[in-house]
Structure formats: C-alpha cells, structure tokens
Structure 1
C-alpha cells in the first residue's frame, strides 16, 4: 500500500495549479496534509465518523488522481470524516504515534464510529524476512497485528470515554481484496505485492498468486478472530469484489495491490452498503 513518488509529484503540481491564488498554496497544502494524514487540524472538526487508514483510503496525500475509499465515501456517499490517512501507513505506526487519540480529539463528542484500513503494510514489509520461514514469519506478524489492533481499540475507547463520556466507539475494519501479483508496477521500483518484488528479494514461492491469496485469506481470518475478543470491533469482508480468488482482475487494478478508479468504485459501493447499519450514512 505504498505511495508512488512520481505520480505524487504530478498530483501536487495539479493541486497547486487549481488553488485559490489569493492564498498561499503551500500553507493550504501543509494544513490540509497535516489534518488528513495525522489528524492535526486547526481545532476540533466535529464528525460522526473517523477514519484511520493506509493507501486504500488515501494513496496520494488527499490528491484524487486515484479515487480510493476515503474520497469516494466522501464524494459519493456524503461522509464527513475526522481522519488520519496516508499511503504506506502501518498499524504499528498508528499505535506508536497515538493517531487514534488525535482522531478522537479531532472528531469530538459526536463521533460514534471509526473506520480502519490497516494491516497490509505490516504484512508485506521486508519481504526478505520470509525467506526460508514463511509460516513462522507470518505467524509472528499476525500476532503483532492482533496485539496492536487490540491496543488501538482498548486505548481508543478508554480515551474517548474519559474525555467525552458516553458509550465506547465502534471500530470497523475491512479486509483487503485479492492482490494480482502479475500486474506490472506503475512506476519502476514501486512493486509492492508484485512477483517482480518477490524475485528481486529472493523470495521463491511455487505459485505467486496462491501465496498472496493465502496470505490475504489468513489476514481476513485473523480479523474475524479478533472480533470475537473485542466486541466493539466490526469486520467487513471485501474479498471477491474485483474478480475473486486467487487474483483480482487486471482491468480493475492499478498495480499489484491497488485498484484503479473503477475497482475502487466497486469496493466503495460494497463497503458503503456493509457499514451503513453502523454509520447510518449514505443510503
């Protein structure tokens, strides 16, 4: 779920071109960037729904060259988020930085639900560590994801109740849809989740599509397991939206792990329907 530097540069340039010339575009950009990526805003921005996510929610610093889940929920379904979203973000980073507290501060007392799009980067980072011990490394990483996710929820709810009172938050986490490891990278070197990356680091697997699909299924199963231990966590299954196991359809993908605009439209439609009973927004 990494960001692509070249495309990002183009997006920032377009962003500046369309800014209000009466304002300093750099000031506006920095303010919007801090608010959307780290929930550091100019005061409280009340919202009923929070969001903390990786590049499936915001691939390019809020610049909609690829309309991921967050902008589509905002523009098509009327969501107003208090959020911290940025491509490349890991669950480990979110917990270490205390972003759950900043999102709660930003959203205020009326916030009831926080949507989470996290975990993929924790799984796919440092692929060379998997060499020779795929089951062991995966088990270790899944255990860390579970511990971090539970810490995020428990500390977030305790903070929300201590500061604003009322009921604990509901936390909605989605699993990802299947990668397509045979997609070419958009930019050379930006090949997370691609067979080319496996080959480059020396990770030899009998079948790249089966390997990535099995990891994805195991991650989704882990999320279901955590919901049994944390009653305020709600899991949403997005698998089989982009074509089904073992690989999502190439015509719906931007690269190995990200959908294109059409793909994200299908994913957002499904996500919006599944979370409506908890958010009461969009339909």
Structure 2
C-alpha cells in the first residue's frame, strides 16, 4: 500500500507540474499534499489539534476508496488538524525529520493536543531480521520505539513552551487493532503484515495469526508502560473493535493491516469517543 501511494503521489505531482507551464507549478493540490503529508506548510494553519501518523491516518487510494482515521475525524467529527500523515511513516523518521516541530509551527499557539498513529511500520520493517531471533529483535525494536516516543514528546513540549509559552501539549497515541495475516493483499507487492510476506522473506511461522496478535498485544502493552513514565502521553486501546483476537474479521479489512471503510468507521467512532474528554471536539 505504501509503495502504491508513493508512486501515485509522484505521478500526480509530475502531471500537475508539467501539464501547464503558464501556471505556478506549486498548485493548491500540491501545496495541500505537502502540508498534510509532510508538514511542509506555507505559514500557520491554526488548529487546536495536531496529528502525526502513518497509513492508519493517511488517505488510502485502494480499491475501494478508503477513509482512514484522519479524514473520518475531519469529515464526521469536525476536527481541524495541523499535521503530517503519510503511509509508511515510521516513528524513527518522524523524530529524525523533526516533524513534531513542523506540526507545532503549523498549529500555532492555540494547539493543545497532538494525535499520534505511529510504531507499526517500525515493527514491520526488515522482517528478515526476525528470522531465528524473534524475541531479541522485537525487544530491541520496542526499546527504540520507547526511546523515540519519549524523545518526540519531551523535545516537542520543550519547543512548544519555548515558542509559545503555556502548558505542555498532550499527546494521544492509539494502539492498532489486530491484523489479519491471511487476507489477500490489495496490491500483490504490498503485503505488509501478511503471511505471504512472512513466507517470502523466510520467516517461517507455525501460526501467523498467533504471531501477529501476540506482537500486537506486546506493542499495546509497551504503550501503556510508556504512559506511566510520560505524564503527557495518553494511550487509547483500539483492540477488539473489528472482531477480536487473534485476527480482525475479513468483512472489516481492506488487507492484512488496514481496515476497509466500514472498519475505519468503527475504529473512528471508538477513538473519537475515547479522546473527546481531552480534545472537546466532535460531540
């Protein structure tokens, strides 16, 4: 999915830039894409809520068209976001690129909360490293996720207070619901979280669903642990929204790790209600 999105984005931008040389190549569409996907904005777009996320918050150009958490929060719950959401984004990339600072610049002094949808791609990357060493590699990756998440929050709040004063931001991170590794990929070459990909890289799993659900539970538990150390981090559990352990139900899924439109509607309903006491938006 992330490969398809990248090529689609590049293709659209190429056409828009070269189809009419009499116009400014940076069209409104491109400017909006840069702002929403990469946090590169032309000045502030003041908002009380920020968002930094992966494909669970990005716009999926699958078949059928899918509205993920961000567009559903915007369209159904009246959220106005400052943020950067792009399929395939890792927490490591966000910290390395300083996206938290860009989102704070974009949101301005009135922003109080930043929603995070991150961590899944950090776990899924380079699956071959897990071969014969699952527990050690997972522990290392979880340690890196913990360090990066704490750095994101600490440096983001220090920057916000230095620039605008006031109280630190509240950061809300959701865990993912259970994948379904037996789903058929929408695009054959984009099968993250699927048994087909595990098999292809040589990661032999007696029970792919048991492996992915156990790893998903461990990731959610990690997020809970981090909230105990970081008072400005709030965790929302989205598990069991799409059918429960070990795998989400196929009728709610687009592929192995992404919900379909109905699935994201259920996830957004649960998420919006959970965060309402913090954001005071949507109801």
> What TM-score, normalized by structure 1, do the two folds share?
0.92
1:1-283 correspondence runs (5 A): 2-5=2-5, 8=8, 12=12, 27-60=27-60, 65-283=65-283
CA shift, 1:65, in A, is 2.7
Could you list the runs of 5+ residues in structure 1 that have no partner in the other structure? Answer: 17-21
CA shift, 1:60, in A, is 4.0
Instruction: Classify 1:6/1:222 alpha carbon distance in 2 versus 1 (closer, same or farther; 3 Å).
Output: closer
Instruction: Classify 1:34/1:6 alpha carbon distance in 2 versus 1 (closer, same or farther; 3 Å).
Output: closer
Aligned equivalents of 2:256, 2:25: Cα separation in 1: 33
Aligned equivalents of 1:27, 1:60: Cα separation in 2: 21
CA shift, 1:28, in A, is 2.0
Q: Deviations over 1:236-269 (max 9, x none)?
A: 0000000000000001000000000000000000
Structure 2 residue matching 1:193: 3-state secondary structure: coil
Instruction: Classify 1:7/1:183 alpha carbon distance in 2 versus 1 (closer, same or farther; 3 Å).
Output: farther
Tell me which stretches of 4 or more aligned residues in structure 1 moved more than 3 Å. 5-9, 22-26
Equivalent pair of 1:88/1:121 in contact (CA under 8 Å)? yes
Q: Deviations over 1:193-248 (max 9, x none)?
A: 00000000000111100000001000000000000000000000000000000000
Aligned length: 275
Aligned to 1:19: none
Structure 2 residue matching 1:246: 3-state secondary structure: coil
Aligned equivalents of 2:242, 2:122: Cα separation in 1: 23
Equivalent pair of 1:3/1:59 in contact (CA under 8 Å)? no
Q: Deviations over 1:94-141 (max 9, x none)?
A: 000000000000000000000000000000000000000000000000
Structure 1 residue matching 2:217: 3-state secondary structure: helix
Equivalent pair of 1:174/1:235 in contact (CA under 8 Å)? yes
CA shift, 1:7, in A, is 9.0
RMSD (CA atoms)? 2.2
Equivalent pair of 1:31/1:41 in contact (CA under 8 Å)? yes
Instruction: Classify 1:8/1:250 alpha carbon distance in 2 versus 1 (closer, same or farther; 3 Å).
Output: farther
Equivalent pair of 2:181/2:194 in contact (CA under 8 Å)? yes
Aligned equivalents of 2:205, 2:182: Cα separation in 1: 13
Aligned equivalents of 2:227, 2:208: Cα separation in 1: 29
Q: Deviations over 1:146-180 (max 9, x none)?
A: 00000000000000000000000000000000000
